[in-house]
Structure 1
Amino acid sequence: MGSRRNFLEKLTISTISIPILYSPTKLFAASTAPYEGPILRVAIMGLGSYGTRVAKAMESCKRAKLVGLISGTPSKVVKWRAKYDIPEKNCYNYDNFDNIKDNPDIDAVYVITPNALHKEQTIRVAKAGKHVICEKPMGINAKEGQEMVDTCKAANVKLLVGYRMHYEPKTVEVIKMRKAGEFGKLKFFQGLSGFTIGDPTQWRLNKELSGGGAMMDIGIYSINGARYMLGEEPIWVTAQETKTDPIKFKEGVDETIQFQMGFPSGAVASCLSTYAMSHLDRFFLNGEKGFVEMRPSTGYGPIKGRTHKGELTQPHITHQTLQMDGMAQLIFEEVQPIVPVDGEEGVKDLKIIDAIYKAAKTGEKVSL
């Protein structure tokens, strides 16, 4: 299995072939010491609520800078240009953004649009020769995700997915503890991801734009969390869907899905993804030697958690700031986070989502 250092393992590099890991020392030092390295110049595509959050977080980045805008709403472009001092030549709409191929001032585009638009937009950005950061889920199914990966490879650009938790300090500390064997043989993971969704007309409840319902939006956190907390890939899934409001949650838009995953070691995961219940943001991991509980586990923070050894005390830093600085370092220096944030990682989650939907529909255990 970016955002999202007292949280990554330092690795002494002895040969050029060994991958570099993100250095926590260097990251925290970057907060106080002047940074003089390369800056990742980013255009944000999609100036909605999450795009706004990313842009604000990037104001604190040392290695990444917002330099361009892509939007279908001219009034938003005007407002953002004034706020972030974006030159007009770096602003595009959804019809003409292919022209970024001729703009040397933009290195990468962060695609933050409805799920069903990700594939086409990512492919267009890649063909324009720019690196792509795509918000999750990267597509509406694994087939789409793999097409995106293949296109970016052919274009010789990087495809990264907005896995901010892979850079979050408490999360990374837990992964380090697991890697060090501090929980012993792992037995069980529980992931609860959900909130009560509001406006019934929003794109998240439109299957043509979202590709599904709560699973695509919030359930993916428990899927990804199970994988990085257990350190394994699931080999089977089962799932059960519950729908109490078929008016709000139309055909193909899931309201609540309970799902289970089995892993090669014998560990199991029991998870809940819902748009109908609030206060659900909890991970729990149990092993023969210890445990970890994180609540909130994936919200914007601060993340809180405790293990059998006590409270997790790593500092809260805005997730998207860490993510964008981390991704800049990955693009320029091949410095990898403790859990990948590349397109292949995104495809793995989409394969599991495909299997969960199949299991919920058929009532059968689906092998992966």
Structure 2
Amino acid sequence: MQTATLFDLPDIQTLQEAPAAAAPAKPRPKPKKTRTVHASVPLTPWTTVPDELIRDADWVVISSSGGKDSQAMLSYVVQRARALGMLDKVVVVHADLSRVEWAGTRELAELQARLAGVRRFEVVQAKGADLLDRVEIRYGKLKAKAEREALERGEDPSTAKVAPAWPSSAARWCTPDVKRGPIRTLYTRLVAELGDLGRPVRILECIGQRAAESTARAQLAEVEINRGASNGKRHVTTWRPIHGWSDRKVWREIARSRLPYHPAYDWGNRRLSCVFCVLGCNSDLVNGARRVPELAAAYARTEVVVGADFKKGLSMAEIIRRAQALEAAEGPAARPPVGTAMAEHVGRAVTSKYRVRQATLYGLAA
């Protein structure tokens, strides 16, 4: 065996001139898709006056979750449209969330619309999987992505950190998936119904978001162009009719309208839509676990599958534990009297009149 001598080794200059070993090529990031907005879509609304918005619209579409805010908005907008003689252009739409929303919500939204005098009520629903199933599907995709990227970095894929699959305040993917997208399919149908007007169809979408709900919603404009929903065939203007309203004003409008509201509010809920919303307060979540324990159990099972808590810092397993502790201490929760929630905001006298008028006009239990 020959041993290399000093003269057999490359000199320093040769080493310095030799090209460095090529580093592993980094994967190129996928180019971001840019959505172009049709040139005809305006940047800002031409008016913010409510009656002018209604007059100008070809369709006035009221999104109704069945909750107190959309209910108050419904009665307010319908009142204005009726005064203008334009109730025929009003459509109420409910995005059905399947098993994850409170029982009877869809039926209540339809009843509210009918009692308010709206002739057209539409129900839309996302195709395929419901919210819980979508969380598991999303987890599978995020896990595969994390493992692939770990391999590209030369790391052990089993140690890859998977991004959260649950919706959150920072990633509310559930709203476009199960609400916004399906509602836009309704817009497409409404445009087709009017045929060729020689111009884009004007849709006024009414949303019950209020500034008092959160800092983020306080920053929203009362009226703005929805450029994401607009195109060459339709121009969509977003109107938040009750954006500046307080809780008290919302309940006063419900009392004035005499429309029935969801019993979950009398049970103590502050919000209504999904039984378990990541934006809901803890008491709402515990309340949901007491009233719909089988759904809470389904959420807990999904937590195990995706390896993450339903809400940051608060697992569904813990929510169930708190609900069970209350059941043990207080016994099964009994339904409070109708009007309990309303009385807290507008007083017993107004609430009593509301219940009597409901019984007289609609035959509903007082």
Considering fraction of residues, name the structure with more strand: 1
Which structure has the larger Rg?
Answer: 2
Q: Which has the higher contact order (CA 8 A, sep 6+)?
A: 1
Q: With structure 1 as the length reference, what TM-score do the two structures score?
A: 0.30
TM-score, normalised with respect to structure 2: 0.31
